[in-house]
Each structure stands twice: as C-alpha cells, then as structure tokens.
C-alpha cells in the first residue's frame, strides 16, 4: 500500500513539472501580484526577451450584455463616462505572426486621462487577476485621522476645586479606554447649570468616545454615575454634596471636535478639490495661508490659483469658545497632464499563431473601474504593445 502511494505521488509530480514547462505563460510561474515599480508584472527572469516584431493586436469593448463584445476593434478610448462603482470592460487579442519560437511583449495604455485619478483603477481578470490605482501628481489627498473632541467640565463656584486635579475617564465601542486631564489652563468663564453657577473648562477625548466619567487625576476615585451618551449630555458638573464630591451631567452647546481631515493634498491650477472635514462645533472654518496660491470656500472646497505650496487650516469652534485645529499642506501644480504609460500586463510570452487551428491566440481581459461616488470621464490615446 505504501509503495503504491509513493508511485502515485511521483507520477503526479512528473505531470505537474510537465505542465509548468509546457503551459503558456500565466498560471504556473511563481510571481508576485504586483511587481517592482507598482506595475502589473513579474520577474523578467521568468522569460526570454525578444524583438517583439510581427504582431497583430485588436481590442474590443464589452457591450451592455455581460460577456458580449463589439465586433469592431478599437485602438483608443474617447471620453467614456463611467458611473460610480461601475467599470468598462475590454478584451485585447494578441497574435504573434512572426516565425520566432516565442515573443515577449507587454500591453500598455498610452496617454491616459481621467477627471478623477483618485477614483480610477485599471484591472485584469485574465490571464491573471490584478487591480491597480492610477496615480496622478494632482487631485490626490492623504487622510489624517485627528479623532479629537472636547467635552465640557464645570466646577461649582461654591466649592474649592482645583481643575488641574481632575481628569475625565472615557470609553466606547471601538475606543480604547483612557483618561484625559482637564485643560485647566483654558477657562471658559462661568455657566449656569444644575441650579447653580460653575466655572467652565474642557477635556479632550477621542471623537468616537460615547461614555465618560470624571475622576480624581492619578487615582481610582470616580464621581457620579456613568455618562453613556456624552454627545448629548456633554457637560460634566462636579460639586460637593452631603456625601462628598459628586458629579452630574447636562446638555450644553456642541464642543469643538475633528474626526478626520487631510495632511496633504494636490490640485492643479484652475481645478478644485474637496477637502471638507468630518468635524463638529458651532462653527467650522477653513483658511488658506496664501490666497495667491489657492482659495477655499466655506465648505472646504479648494481651488488652485497658481503653482506653489501653502497651508490650509481647519478650525472647529465649540459653543463656549473652545477650539480644535488641524493643518493640511496644499500643493498646487500645473494643469493635469495625461499619464504617459499605464501597464496592463507585462512580460507576456506569446508563441506563433496558427491561423488554421487558431492556437496560441493570447486574450487579455481587462477593465477600467470607477471606485468613486460620482461619475468619471476617462480617455486613452492608444492601446498598444511594447517590449
């Protein structure tokens, strides 16, 4: 029985080795999904490089019917609109009409233009599966998770409290519990609450925190009940009662907070980019340091004015004058230029096409996808083969 198993394993190994040597190009070589240079390729050492002469290339666009392609070939894509979340599908047929045993070629898109590179992707379904983001030197933005908001802390004016002695314990779904000291150096005057007068301060907690409870700093002394809805009851009142220090909660105006902004953004002269933040407060303000380079409207939409760099500052202001700020570096460039060369599949080995048997026809199924939330328009000057 053991001898039979060994013979079976040896036979399967020989069959696998034969397939690795004989199967055309794609399925049996070990390769990374994405090669050097962030392109659709794998090691050049896998194949012999050749002259790439004597080829016929035809590309067809898929019709509205899934899996059905037009019968008329194309060599370019002229201003195609792609709805949000949708894609345009193509197949490119490659015939090696030369006499050489093998030719190694690559399929490229030349002169690619998109009105939203950040949402534009090129992918391949067959002979391998890849998905590549089209990188442009403009229209890009880098998200910065600020994740901060202010909760108000009041101290009864009739009691002798030192705000610097207190902190706020916070927690919530997806939030690591922690403690934030009261910002005693930033008083916000007084407020009438809980039928009394309170000195008002704030503490900075994570934006997604939903629960708080005051405590004596650097101790395990907590006061009052758990506040499990800090976004509604965002005022913590600390006072002394018949049983010592205690706390209660109430609603007051929204405290300043910034959940998400951007650390870097690029935009072309004359173009716009949306840099609106996820923030809270009674006012959200955007300001560009140098208005000759860029301007911004009240919604955070930036317009490039001239080539250069400047700073965009976001300021969220709370109901009692507290603030949260964040900065984004703005880079304004020349008008967007087309991407010269975008790889689809590289280093494909093709063997001489047999017109009679139709053998060795290489077909690449690829697509351009819109992963944004609004329509995009894409053009390609030429679909071509290169070395």
312-342 pLDDT, tens digit each: 999 999 999 999 999 999 999 886 667 777 8
Say whether pLDDT at 144 is over 80.
yes
Say whether pLDDT at 366 is over 90.
yes
Question: Which of these, 326, 328, 327, 322, lies nearest to 204 by C-alpha position?
Answer: 322
DSSP state of 158: T
Mean pLDDT of the 52-75 span: 88
Mean pLDDT of the 131-148 span: 80
> Which pLDDT band holds residue 246 (cuts at 50, 70, 90)?
very high
- Identify the burial level of 166 via C-beta atoms within 10 angstroms of its C-beta, where 0-12 means exposed, 13-18 middle and 19 or more buried: buried
In DSSP notation, 289-358 reads S-TTTEEE-TTSEEEE-SSEEEEEEEEEE-TTS-EEEEEEEEEEESSP--EEEEEEEEEEEE-B-BTTTT
Q: What are phi and psi of 320, to 5 degrees?
A: -115, 25
Mean pLDDT of the 101-119 span: 84
pLDDT for the residue numbered 372: 87
CATH superfamily of the 259-333 domain: Immunoglobulins (2.60.40.10)
Mean pLDDT of the 106-123 span: 87
pLDDT for the residue numbered 245: 96
Whether the model clears a pTM of 0.85, i.e. scores above it, the answer is no
Question: Which of these, 130, 109, 120, 112, lies nearest to 35 by C-alpha position?
Answer: 130
Q: Are 192 and 252 in contact (CB under 8 A)?
A: no
Among 10-19, 113-122, 179-188, the minimum mean pLDDT is found in 10-19
DSSP state of 277: -
pLDDT for the residue numbered 316: 98
Give the pairing type, strands 278-280 and 272-274: unpaired
Which fold would CATH assign to domain 47-134+340-386? Jelly Rolls (2.60.120)
Mean pLDDT of the 212-240 span: 96
On average, the pLDDT of the chain sits at 85
């Amino acid at each position: 029985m053991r001898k039979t198993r060994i013979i079976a394993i040896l036979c399967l190994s020989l069959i696998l080795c034969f397939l690795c040597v004989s199967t055309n190009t794609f399925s049996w070589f070990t390769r990374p999904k994405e090669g050097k240079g962030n392109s659709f390729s794998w090691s050049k050492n896998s194949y012999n490089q050749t002259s790439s002469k004597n080829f016929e290339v035809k590309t067809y666009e898929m019709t509205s019917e899934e899996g059905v392609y037009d019968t008329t070939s194309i060599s370019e894509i002229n201003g195609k609109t792609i709805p949000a979340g949708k894609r345009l599908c193509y197949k490119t047929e490659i015939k090696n009409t030369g006499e050489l045993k093998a030719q190694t070629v690559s399929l490229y898109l030349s002169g690619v233009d998109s009105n939203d590179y950040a949402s534009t992707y090129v992918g391949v379904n067959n002979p391998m599966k890849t998905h590549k983001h089209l990188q442009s030197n403009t229209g890009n933005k880098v998200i910065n998770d600020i994740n901060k908001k202010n909760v108000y802390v009041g101290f009864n004016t009739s009691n002798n409290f030192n705000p610097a002695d207190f902190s706020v314990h916070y927690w919530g779904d997806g939030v690591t519990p922690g403690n934030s000291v009261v910002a005693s150096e930033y008083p916000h005057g007084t407020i009438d609450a809980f039928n009394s007068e309170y000195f008002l301060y704030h503490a900075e907690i994570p934006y997604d925190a939903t629960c708080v409870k005051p405590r004596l700093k650097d101790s395990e002394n907590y006061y009052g009940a758990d506040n499990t809805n800090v976004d509604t009851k965002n005022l913590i009142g600390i006072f002394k009662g018949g049983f010592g220090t205690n706390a209660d909660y109430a609603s007051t105006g929204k405290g300043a907070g910034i959940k998400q902004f951007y650390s870097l953004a690029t935009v072309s002269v004359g173009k716009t980019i949306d840099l609106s933040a996820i923030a809270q407060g009674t006012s959200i303000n955007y300001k560009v340091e140098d208005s000759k380079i860029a301007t911004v409207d009240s919604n955070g939409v930036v317009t490039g004015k001239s080539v250069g760099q400047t700073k965009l500052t976001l300021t969220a202001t709370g109901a009692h004058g507290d603030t949260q700020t964040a900065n984004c570096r703005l880079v304004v460039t020349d008008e967007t230029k087309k991407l010269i060369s975008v790889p689809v599949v590289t280093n494909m080995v093709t063997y001489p096409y047999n017109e009679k048997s139709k053998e060795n026809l290489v077909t690449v199924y690829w697509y351009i996808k819109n992963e944004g939330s609004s329509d995009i328009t894409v053009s390609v000057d030429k679909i071509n083969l290169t070395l």
